[in-house]
Amino acid sequence: MKIIIENHIPFIHGIFDAVADVVYLPSDQITAEVMKDADALITRTRTRCNEALLTGSKCRFIATATIGTDHIDLDYCHKAGITVVSAPGCNAPAVAQYVLTSIYHTVGDFCGHCLGVVGVGHVGSIVARWAEGLGMKVLRNDPIREENEGGDEFVSLAQIAGQCDIITFHTPHTLTGKYPTHHLADGKFFNSLIRKPVVINSARGPIVDTPMLIEALKEGKVSKTIIDCWEGEPSISTELLSMASIATPHIAGYSYEGKVRATIAVAEALAKHFSLNVRLTTEKPADAPDTVTLQELLSSYNPQVDTDNLKRNPEKFETLRNEYDFRHEPKV
């Protein structure tokens, strides 16, 4: 069998080489011609897995070493009989690390601030739990979970807009369904803000309407912003870049441990799907701890370094991302 693997996926080289014909390629070289005789694809977010790429291909399995699948046409894959797997939760501790260290570097402390967490899945739940342990009041917004679970744990987006000093987004990017998230933070949202909050996007770029965020910053409706995920990546808004307090090249989840978890998840899924006997070369890291201390958090990461690199070299967005020196998650 033949497997196409995006060459920037860490820790995956060699896992399948003894049991399959493996071709490692950069994302821009994974084309329809390449995919014609491929049985499987392991990729990241830059490869658009859709009819244009896959029509006429014998591919029946796609794994993305990421938590999101918005780069994959799931409807097309389902109709074409292509199994799709992702790695949900793999980088959740790393994103929580990024969000909370970025908050500290932006506002100076945690106590006395109200944090609004929009989207309380794998990532948002850790952000909320760690933030409460560090002394923040946390409001949670997740209409899907609220609808499915009930209870009084969740609040409306309007309550988040009215009561929070810091608002962080952790939803997938969706265009359809009952609760689409495309431009969830739009002009109407920014106009409803009361406390001139810090706004954070480390989820997906299009969740935030970039021109509306820039206008909100200029008008003082948003005091500061922390951006890791950008609309139009890698061609990001240089105006928003110049205004952002923390600005990074989509690396919030780029921890050593997170990358190991993702690679193990997709490798195990592919091996199981095709009944391949492979040996993993790394052990799965521990799950996120219940809490972290301020010292553990701040000693593990300084987002200002990555911010300085991107602000100096915005044209190198993709290079900074692909050649990122994976940090370690907080040690507890």
Q: Note the pLDDT tens digit of each residue in 26-50.
A: 999 999 999 999 999 999 988 999 9
pLDDT tens per residue, range 77-135: 999 999 999 999 999 999 999 999 999 999 999 999 999 999 999 999 999 999 999 99
Q: Are the CB atoms for 263 and 285 separated by under 8 Å?
A: no
Instruction: Reply yes or no on whether 318 is catalytic.
Output: no
| Residue 29: both structure tokens together | 């070289």
What number of other Cβ atoms are within 10 A of residue 18's Cβ?
Answer: 11
Q: Which whole number is the average pLDDT over 287-302?
A: 95
Per annotation, catalytic residue among 8, 46, 183, 250: 250
* Angle between the N-to-C axes of helices 92-107 and 303-312, in degrees from 0 to 180, rounded to the nearest 10: 80
Mean pLDDT of the chain: 96
Residue 308: pLDDT over 70: yes
What's residue 332's pLDDT? Answer: 61
Per annotation, catalytic residue among 145, 173, 183, 204: 204
pTM above 0.85, yes or no: yes
Distance in angstroms (rounded) separating the CA atoms of residues 155 and 176: 22
Strand 198-201, strand 166-169: pairing: parallel
Instruction: Reply yes or no on whether 129 is catalytic.
Output: no
Residue 168: pLDDT over 90: yes
43 strand-pairing partners: 64
* Percent of all residues in the chain with a pLDDT value above 90, rounded to a whole number: 95
C-alpha distances in angstroms, 219 versus 52, 161, 208, 223, 237?
42, 16, 17, 9, 18
Q: Are the CB atoms for 329 and 258 separated by under 8 Å?
A: yes
* Angle between the N-to-C axes of helices 92-107 and 122-133, in degrees from 0 to 180, rounded to the nearest 10: 40
Q: Which whole number is the average pLDDT over 210-235?
A: 98
Per annotation, catalytic residue among 233, 268, 273, 328: 233
Cα distance between the two ends of the chain: 43
CB hemisphere CA count around 160 (13 angstroms): 26
Distance in angstroms (rounded) separating the CA atoms of residues 140 and 124: 9
Instruction: Reply yes or no on whether 13 is catalytic.
Output: no
